[in-house]
Amino acid sequence: MTKTLRAVSLTALMVSAFAAPAAAELKYENNSGGYVKLYGQLNPAIISVDDGQETETNVRDYDASNSRVGLEVIQPYGANTFQFRFETALGLPNSTETSQLGNDFGGWTRQDIRHVDFSLKGDWGKVSAGQGSMFADGAAEQDLSYVGLALYSFTADSNFSFLFRDSAGVLSGPTVGDTTDDFDGSRRARIRYDTPSFNGFSFGAAWGRNVLADDDDRDYYDFGTYYSNEFAGTKVNAALAYQVREGDGSAKREDLIGSASVLLQSGLSFTVAAGTRDVDSDMDTDPNYYYAKVAYETEDWLPNVGKTGIGVHYWDGADFNTDGSDSSVWGVGVAQRIEEYNVDTYLTYQNYAYDDSTNDFDDLSTIVLGARWRF
């Protein structure tokens, strides 16, 4: 049975993304080398999820890069640079808030605040304080491919809350979000330090708290390294990080994550990621995964329109949700830049499989057609 497309207000956002010309940069400079910049984006998508028996199609704000607005202030301060950043999601109906059981739209809440961040940067490195990225945020998602805007190592943005059906057709399985993850770092109210770059390498560490949640008094800390360089037109990005969550009477959780991506001058790219989680409790599992993607991008196919990217990826995990379980995701995608309107369009198909010792579950598949407009 196919449920009809819900024509929610996000449809209008998708139309506006294509109809609006590229906006001029909203940047206001002062006489001392500083500036204030307003920015944001809209990212609506048509998302169709097939759980093996029913298909549900909706228009939602796509969580892979949700709609948001922000304000950035940059000001030179002697030999250093001061930065303030405020950014929040818009709280539109989100792709992670829908399942076969209905919708769980919360509207805008304080957990939609992404950044209230102050930093000072100089030759000695960079110190950041406030709500913002922990050092491990991005360590599992280094990706130089253009199609990476919709096809990357975290595979559950489009269907996070959808449940797997068991062999009897009952929605008795775990959700997609329970069975796949990349353990990437998060945003917290934190103190963070980044070293200067040494031949492409930078190191850093952070400690923070989840102040946007009422019931989370745990400590979060991490450290690691990032690498970025270019050799004769070949670009390389990589990261490795270790992160810990502990305290408040909960089990200590430790993650080791890493990723690397290479973009050749020809447009061909290769991306890999892997992670393992250790939870200090007999009540929890210790999952792990690996990820790989091959992609290609070119401006030759539609030279008067913009860059085109295509890619195929595979994610494989073990012990997610319960010990002895197996999870896998494979997908293909295409992305198209429309320069005239400052829009990135994308189309992806992904197939999700999950099995454990209790039952066999039907595969679940998802198609996403979306457009991201930035200003």
For residues 72-82, give the mean pLDDT.
96
Q: Classify domain 10-374 by CATH number.
A: 2.40.160.10
Q: pTM value?
A: 0.92
State residue 249's pLDDT score: 87
* Region 76-102 average pLDDT: 96
Q: What angle do CA 269, 314, 326 make, to 5 degrees?
A: 155
Single-letter amino acid code for the residue at 278: D
Tell me how long the chain is. Answer: 375
Mean pLDDT of 205-229: 96
Please name the residues in contact with 15: beta carbons below 8 A apart, sequence gap of 6 or more: none
Q: Average the pLDDT over 76-91 and give the result.
A: 97
* Burial label, 7 (beta-carbon count in 10 A; 0-12, 13-18, 19+): exposed
Residue 11 has pLDDT above 70, yes or no: no
Pairing of strands 125-133, 187-194: antiparallel
Q: Which amino acid is at 144?
A: L
Share of the chain above pLDDT 90, in %: 89
Q: Which helix (H) or strand (E) holds 10?
A: helix 10-19
Q: What is the pLDDT of residue 145?
A: 98
pLDDT digits over 302-319, tens only?
999 999 999 999 999 999
Please say whether the beta carbons of 289 and 127 come within 8 A. no
- Cβ atoms 178, 364 nearer than 8 A: no
Q: Is 148 helix (H, G, I), strand (E, B) or coil?
A: helix
226: exposed, middle or buried (C-beta count within 10 Å: 0-12, 13-18, 19+)? buried
Annotated domain spans of the chain = 10-374
Question: Given this model, what pLDDT does residue 368 score?
Answer: 98
Integer distance in angstroms from the first to the last C-alpha of the chain? 39
Q: 364-374 pLDDT, tens per residue?
A: 999 999 999 99
- Locate 227 and state its tokens: 């690498």
Contact call for residues 150 and 143 (beta carbons, < 8 A)? no
Region 234-244: mean pLDDT is 98
> 204 and 223 in contact (C-beta within 8 Å)?
yes
Q: What's the mean per-residue pLDDT of the chain? A: 93
193 forms beta bridges with 127, 205
Give the mean model confidence (pLDDT) for residues 80-105.
96
Question: Considering the chain, what percentage of its residues have pLDDT values greater than 70?
Answer: 94
pLDDT of residue 19: 46
Confidence class of residue 121 from pLDDT cuts 50, 70 and 90? very high
If DSSP codes are grouped into helix, strand and coil, which group holds residue 46? strand
- Exposure of 32 by Cβ count < 10 A (0-12 exposed, 13-18 middle, 19+ buried)? exposed
Residue 171 burial (10 A CB sphere; 0-12, 13-18, 19+): middle
pLDDT in tens, 173-188: 899 999 999 999 999 9
Burial class (CB in 10 A: 0-12, 13-18, 19+), 272: middle
Confidence band for 23, pLDDT divided at 50, 70 and 90: low
Which pLDDT band holds residue 8 (cuts at 50, 70, 90)?
very low
Q: 276-305, pLDDT tens digit by residue?
A: 999 998 888 999 999 999 999 999 999 999
pLDDT mean over 349-368:
96
Reported for 211-218, long-range contacts at CB under 8 A and 24+ positions apart, including other chains, are 211/131, 212/110, 212/111, 212/113, 212/131, 213/111, 216/248, 217/247, 217/248, 218/245, 218/246, 218/247, 218/248, 218/250
Higher pLDDT, residue 17 or 195: 195
**For residues 373 and 341, what is the distance between their CA atoms, to the nearest angstrom?**
8
Residue 13 predicted with pLDDT over 50 = no
Q: Is residue 281 exposed (0-12), middle (13-18) or buried (19+ Cβ within 10 Å)?
A: exposed
Residue 7 pLDDT > 70, yes or no?
A: no
pLDDT at 269: 98
Cβ atoms of residues 136 and 316 within 8 Å = no
Q: Identify residue 200 by its one-letter amino acid code.
A: G
pLDDT band at 22 (very low <50, low <70, confident <90, very high): low
Helix, coil or strand: residue 220: strand
Q: Which amino acid, 170? A: V
pLDDT recorded at residue 358: 87
Of the listed ranges 13-27, 94-108, 196-210, 242-256, the least confidently predicted one is: 13-27
Q: Does the pLDDT at position 16 exceed 50?
A: no
